């Protein structure tokens, strides 16, 4: 169950980071409140996942997949460009996350 919660936390992390860029283009209190709310949800989910997963493992998975997700989301939503070397290193991050998950002692 902790891994499912961590997966939801990763998705929330991606939404949070992308909402920061979106909020920067809007001049409303509502747009500014979205990243704040997502931040609390995100941290709560990460803390909950860490009850069943070692902190280092959970954090490595959360940050790694979050970073890759934000890069892909920025490309899809905002037209950010991804170069071939950047894609290569993103793949290495994903490989590292998969290895971290496979060899986690949980």
d(CA 104, CA 3) in angstroms, rounded, equals 11
27 φ, ψ (degrees, to nearest 5) = -115, 45
Average pLDDT over residues 61-84: 96
- Residue 106, pLDDT > 70, answer no
The model carries a pTM of 0.89
Render pLDDT for 23-71 as a digit per residue (tens, 0 to 9).
888 888 988 899 999 999 999 999 999 999 999 999 999 999 999 999 9
Average pLDDT over residues 80-85: 96
d(CA 59, CA 31) in angstroms, rounded, equals 27
Considering only CA atoms, which of 65, 91, 60 is closest in space to residue 7? 65
- Residue 105's pLDDT band, with cuts at 50, 70 and 90, is confident
- Residue 9, pLDDT > 80, answer yes
pLDDT of residue 97: 92
Instruction: Give percent of the chain with pLDDT exceeding 70.
Output: 99
Mean pLDDT of the chain: 93
Contact residues for 53 (Cβ-Cβ < 8 A; gap 6+): 2, 3, 6, 61, 104, 106
């Amino acid at each position: 169950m902790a891994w499912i919660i961590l997966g939801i936390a990763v998705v929330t992390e991606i939404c949070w980071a992308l909402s920061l860029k979106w909020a920067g283009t809007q001049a409303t209190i509502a747009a500014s409140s979205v990243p704040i709310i997502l931040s609390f949800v995100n941290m709560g989910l990460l803390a909950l996942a860490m009850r069943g997963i070692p902190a280092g493992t959970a954090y490595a998975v959360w940050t790694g997949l979050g970073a890759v997700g934000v890069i892909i989301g920025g490309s899809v939503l905002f037209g950010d460009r991804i170069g071939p070397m950047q894609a290569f290193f993103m793949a290495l991050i994903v490989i590292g996350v998969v290895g971290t998950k496979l060899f986690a002692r949980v």
